Structure 1
Amino acid sequence: MIKLIATDMDGTLLDSNNKINPEFYEVFEKLKEKDIIFAAASGRQYYNLVDRFEDIKDNMMFIAENGTFVMHKGKEILLNSLDRRIALELIKIGHTIENAYVILCGKKAAYIDNTDKRFMEQVNKYYAKVKIVDDLSKVHDDILKVTICDFNGSENNSYKYFTDYNDKVQIAVAGEIWLDMMAKGVNKGLAISKLQKLLNIKHEETMVFGDYLNDLEMMQSAYHSYAMENAHSDLKKVARFMAKSNDDNGVVRTIKEKLEL
């Protein structure tokens, strides 16, 4: 019996046009009737996720900012903050990377110090609450993560700038141009593990879906772990099962089939 379903958003539940298949909402209602918790587990900001699920937000869980901030029915369940001193060091390094921009992700908002047009298009896609500041080091908020938007590529470019911090922070390649840095050990998988203990849900009662490297630990947190057909090759190696691609409504199709909805 499945009691918790968690899915990544981009490249997973969302298709290539950034849309959710309308069939999802029918399936969600059936999950609700069966008391199965549905969670959006994403690198996206909590407020962005709430906007995407406006009509059902009060009946689902949000594992936001790559597991650093978890909300359920409007209540804060988990908060994993990043040490401020380390965050400032990461920001300083981020500012030295050519063709890359820094986002300081806080509990109350996302903070940026650059309004480049191409960068802003990306910020507005993933963040609903954004504040433009002159100096990121002067921000006073619970710091969830430091994110680098690297138009030269996160996996092969910006990641190498932070290798000396592998023992201090959790570094996740969250997309082709996204690099997320959280408190050490914090990720989507840890968040799900904590929720399983809190809600008395077993590993084999959990189903997860993902497509990229920031979903690696999440694959290990559930027996029913699905990599999308379009997923990164390294994620496919650790997932137990495969789902159709995000453009083929893979998440919804798998849930309907496996839970016989």
Structure 2
Amino acid sequence: MHTIDPAARLKLVAVDMDGTFLDGAGMIPDEAWQVIADLQERGVHFVPASGRQYATLSEQFARLGAIPIIAENGTVVMRGQTEVYANIIDPQPVAAVVDAVRGERELDAGLVLCGRRTAYVERGDAAFARAIAPYYRAVEVVQDLNLVQDDIIKMAVNVGTGKVAQMAAALDVPLQVVVSGSHWVDAMNQGVHKGLALGRLQESLQISAEQTAVFGDYPNDLEMMGRARYSFAMANAHPQVAQAANFTAPANTEHGVLQVLRAYLEGRSSL
């Protein structure tokens, strides 16, 4: 396990949520709030960076005020109600994905259209609602996703059977298709990812990679690793992330992010 150089002049800490910052029960650890407060007192921006919806993340971190948030796997960056960056998908591939997901009923697949205003779904059954609830707080059920009038920044497919590779292969569209979780497949414009979003945020805040730490565990965190001198893969991380990161943090079930940040704040070179 590694730590951040106590002499480092950090200005930004970006954290993935599931499998990284959240504990084994999918909750924000109670001690996280004091660690974040101590970072902010030093002028360090704390930035959630997740595939989750902005509305969900802003609700989870409401007590922190207008902090920067990277949402929807990097397709949108917000700072309070100010949009720093957004990447909009053309209507044609959106329609193609809607049709493709409708054709994969045996996978128990359900599509979430992630719009600028809110998220949209056709499925209104209880099982699907439970599956998406931790990630999408602002959701509108519609009769036909092809009739949604909103800018779409990402499409997220919840795969009830867990056969995410089969679902991803069925999305034959000119988009970037990534497996973002054990039951999730995301589609967005090519070249869009958390790393690009983090870069846009760094530019807006005039913060360098040398002043940045990132924490992640899954392949959708890979590009973030290249945007930070202090890139940490969790001990429970996917092998690709472990290889890409410069350092390793204890598992999320051991509150690894907080262990590393607490050591930095206390000037320790060991956990």
Partner of 2:241: 235
Question: Aligned partners of 1:227 and 1:155: how far apart in 2?
Answer: 23
1:216 touches 1:238 (CA, 8 Å); kept in 2?
yes
Deviations 1:84-125 (A, max 9, x none): 211111111111112111111111111000122221101211
2:50 touches 2:74 (CA, 8 Å); kept in 1?
yes
Aligned-residue sequence identity (percent) comes to 39
Partner of 1:137: 146
2:165 touches 2:179 (CA, 8 Å); kept in 1?
no
Partner of 1:109: 118
Query: Tell me, what secondary structure is at the counterpart of 2:111?
Result: strand
Partner of 1:76: 83
Question: Aligned partners of 1:213 and 1:155: how far apart in 2?
Answer: 14
Question: Aligned partners of 2:191 and 2:254: how far apart in 1?
Answer: 33
Task: Report how far residue 74 of structure 1 moved.
Answer: 2.8
Q: Which range is displaced more, 67-76 or 37-46?
A: 67-76
How has the CA–CA distance of structure 1 residues 40 and 154 changed in structure 2, closer, same or farther, with 3 Å as cutoff? Answer: farther
User: How does 1:56-205 map onto structure 2 within 5 Å?
Assistant: 56-58=64-66, 60-97=67-104, 98=106, 99-153=108-162, 155-162=164-171, 164-165=172-173, 168-205=174-211
Partner of 2:4: none
Task: Report how far residue 154 of structure 1 moved.
Answer: 5.1
Counterpart of 1:47, as a letter, is: A
Question: Aligned partners of 2:95 and 2:225: how far apart in 1?
Answer: 31
Counterpart of 2:170, as a letter, is: Y
Structure 2 runs not aligned, ≥5 long: 1-8
> For the aligned residues, what is the CA RMSD?
1.4
Query: Tell me, what secondary structure is at the counterpart of 1:156?
Result: helix
Question: Aligned partners of 2:228 and 2:77: how far apart in 1?
Answer: 18
Question: Aligned partners of 1:259 and 1:2: how far apart in 2?
Answer: 10
Task: Report how far residue 202 of structure 1 moved.
Answer: 1.0
2:232 touches 2:248 (CA, 8 Å); kept in 1?
yes
Aligned length: 257
Question: Aligned partners of 2:193 and 2:257: how far apart in 1?
Answer: 21
1:154 touches 1:173 (CA, 8 Å); kept in 2?
no
Task: Report how far residue 155 of structure 1 moved.
Answer: 4.1
Question: Aligned partners of 2:236 and 2:193: how far apart in 1?
Answer: 21
